[in-house]
Chain A
């Protein structure tokens, strides 16, 4: 694990122009603003979709809400892009950060949940009329999605409080000893 973390850290540090921009006075706060706009768009549109899966507004066909999904994807794309700039600038602050590890875990769970939905239910859901009985499993998928994305946001917000302070990147063994133990 640690060797792969060091490899990832060195790889991320090669994006020097990004890091240079991020260290300007406006760089970091601007990308943070993009990140928060992205997560607001992602969560808002996916929450409406999830609440419909759970059973709210059931007179409206589930498929009608699907047009909101591209905006969730747009929000996610904004966040993948802006999130990458944080990692390219201060990789050690994320790679060795337990809050970030949990964030990635919940992101993965949210992603698997979405894949389960599209693989097993999407075709059936698309054909459902408003008011028709939806598979009960959809409620579980909607609830899991809401919980996972909320957890992603909480873990993301906690990253700053679990930073491995005082870590100097690229000092191999000593670095791992000081930073991972914290």
Chain B
């Protein structure tokens, strides 16, 4: 059933366009947007976590809430670009355990954005360190996805040809 789903998804027009369009505004710019979303969300969040850890003590912590809209913009850019990248190479993602590890790390870091702002929070410094660690691990997982996949497309999966 998974295989027939992947066969169907990879045959959709959008999936073919993601893989085969020669336009720089197809796969390449969507990948670039995914990096911009990352730096908006994780980058500004890490700046906030540094503040929680004691950097820039004269900036009130609540001031960082002003930058939350940019972080949410980054999150939604990456949900959209991430879905597009997934639709382009669904087999590549879904057959790599690391892909699910990355999703879990992102979910954990995003939950911490909320948790660390609760008035009854505990151990904020530990949460901040944990949050930075989640982002570093997310980024590393994202990079390693390009090197650790087993099957590039559903044809590989059906024929059992493992890469790279």
A residues at B contact (CB < 8 Å):
28-29, 32-33, 36-37, 39-45, 47-48, 51, 56-57, 60-61, 63-68, 71, 150, 153-154, 156-158, 161
Contacts and interface: CB of A to CB of B under 8 A. Distances in A.
Contacts of A43: 39-40, 43
Given A45-B43, A68-B50, A71-B50, A51 B70 contact: yes
Contacts of B42: 40, 44
B59 A41 contact: no
B152 interface: no
B101 interface: no
Given A29-B144, A154-B32, A45 B47 contact: yes
A68 B47 contact: yes
A161 B27 CA distance: 10
Contact of A48 (B24, B38, B44, B147): B44
B10 interface: no
Closest 9 CB pairs of A and B: A44-B43, A64-B58, A67-B56, A43-B39, A33-B140, A157-B32, A154-B32, A32-B143, A43-B43
Contacts of B58: 60-61, 63-64, 67
Contact of B142 (A36, A48, A56, A157): A36
B36 interface: yes
Contact of A47 (B31, B44, B56, B135): B44
B39 A153 contact: yes
Given A36-B38, A40-B139, A41-B43, 16 more contacts: A29-B147, A33-B140, A37-B135, A39-B35, A42-B43, A43-B39, A48-B47, A48-B67, A56-B66, A60-B58, A60-B63, A64-B56, A67-B56, A68-B55, A154-B32, A154-B36
Interface string B105-144: 0000000000000000000000000000001100110111
A153 B36 contact: yes
6 contacts: A40-B42, A45-B47, A67-B56, A67-B57, A71-B47, A157-B31
B156 to A, nearest CB: 20
Interface in B37-82: 38-40, 42-47, 50, 55-60, 63-64, 66-67, 70
Contact of A161 (B28, B136, B142, B144): B28
Nearest to A31: B143
A53 B65 CA distance: 17
Nearest to A63: B58
A32 B140 CA distance: 8
A44 B143 contact: no
Nearest to B42: A40
A33 B144 contact: yes
Contacts of A44: 39-40, 42-47
Contact of B39 (A28, A39, A60, A68): A39
Contacts of A37: 135-136, 139-140
Contact of A36 (B24, B63, B64, B143): B143
A141 to B, nearest CB: 18
Contacts of A156: 35
Nearest to A49: B47
